[in-house]
């Protein structure tokens, strides 16, 4: 299956297998309860090593054949990477793929000794890569990366502690007349793009457009006042 990267889909190849990931609304609901979805996103984006990993990717990864230097990998694998971030990444990746991805992201197996009830078996995908991919999936899954003109009158500083995928699935069915199954397969980015296509941009100013217009108005008024002073 060919991924549509603009919607947040991706394919990861490991050995002779391709794993298809789609951060659909239904996949987001598999992460957990509404509050657990938001917590997973927080855990992914709030650790000390992820910003370093992102900078490393920007510096060294230019195409599908690029690799991070060994020294960078050793640093990121040294234990600084948040355990919460890795576990959240494991949950997100598992939720976004319909196949068994244990060989890719790792799994728990019963331990042989009584002291260790379960033993973690890492997969072929490095933990830092899991976190970066999971961050992208959640951005497309619960926030959306479509370019939207957000009018100033619609801006809000309110935050939320829950993400209810069912609300967006119902909204998609109402707006576009599609089935529950089709609505559940939409990513948030895809949902936003469909809304933009159906409802043309409303008239009004975004925050940036308003600030630019205000600055331009005051600059013109200042010039007029200066001209009036000269005429006197």
What tens digit of pLDDT does each residue of 75-100 get?
Answer: 666 655 578 888 999 999 999 999 99
With tokens 């089709």, the residue in question is 182
Question: Out of 93-107, 108-122, 154-168, 206-220, which region has the weakest mean confidence (pLDDT)?
Answer: 206-220
Please work out, in degrees rounded to the nearest 5, the angle formed at the alpha carbon of residue 95 by the alpha carbons of 89 and 97. 105
What tens digit of pLDDT does each residue of 131-176 get?
Answer: 999 999 999 999 999 887 654 444 455 678 899 999 999 999 999 9
Q: Mean pLDDT for the chain?
A: 82
- Residue 115 pLDDT greater than 70, yes or no: no
- Residue 4 pLDDT greater than 90, yes or no: yes
Residues 6+ apart with CB under 8 A from 152: 204, 205, 206, 207, 210
User: Which pLDDT score is estimated for 152?
Assistant: 45
User: Which pLDDT score is estimated for 218?
Assistant: 63
Residue with more model confidence, 109 or 91: 91
State percent of the chain over pLDDT 70: 77
- Residue 55 pLDDT greater than 90, yes or no: no
Task: Band the pLDDT of 105: cuts 50, 70, 90.
Answer: very high
**CA distances from residue 28 to 23, 33, 69, 156, 168 in whole angstroms, order as listed:** 7, 10, 33, 24, 11
User: Which pLDDT score is estimated for 158?
Assistant: 64
**Phi and psi at residue 75, to the nearest 5°:** -65, -45
Query: What is the rounded distance in angstroms from the CA atom of residue 161 to the CA atom of residue 142?
Result: 12
User: Which pLDDT score is estimated for 219?
Assistant: 74
């Amino acid at each position: 299956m060919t991924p549509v990267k603009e919607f947040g889909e991706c394919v990861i190849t490991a050995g002779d297998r391709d794993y298809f990931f789609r951060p659909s609304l239904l996949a987001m609901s598999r992460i957990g309860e509404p509050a657990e979805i938001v917590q997973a996103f927080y855990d992914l984006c709030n650790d000390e090593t992820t910003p370093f990993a992102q900078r490393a990717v920007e510096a060294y990864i230019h195409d599908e054949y690029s690799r991070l230097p060994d020294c960078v990998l050793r640093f990121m694998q040294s234990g600084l990477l948040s355990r919460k971030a890795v576990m959240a990444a494991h949950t997100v990746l598992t939720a976004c793929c319909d196949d068994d991805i244990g060989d890719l992201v790792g799994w728990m197996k019963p331990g042989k000794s009584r002291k260790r009830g379960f033993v973690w078996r890492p997969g072929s995908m490095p933990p830092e890569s899991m976190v970066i991919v999971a961050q992208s999936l959640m951005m497309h899954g619960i926030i959306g990366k479509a370019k939207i003109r957000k009018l100033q009158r619609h801006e809000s500083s309110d935050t939320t502690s829950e993400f209810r995928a069912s609300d967006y699935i119902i909204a998609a069915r109402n707006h576009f007349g599609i089935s529950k199954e089709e609505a559940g397969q939409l990513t948030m980015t895809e949902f936003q793009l469909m809304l933009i296509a159906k409802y043309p941009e409303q008239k009004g100013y975004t925050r940036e457009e308003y600030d630019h217009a205000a600055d331009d108005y005051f600059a013109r008024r200042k010039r007029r006042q200066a001209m009036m002073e000269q005429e006197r």
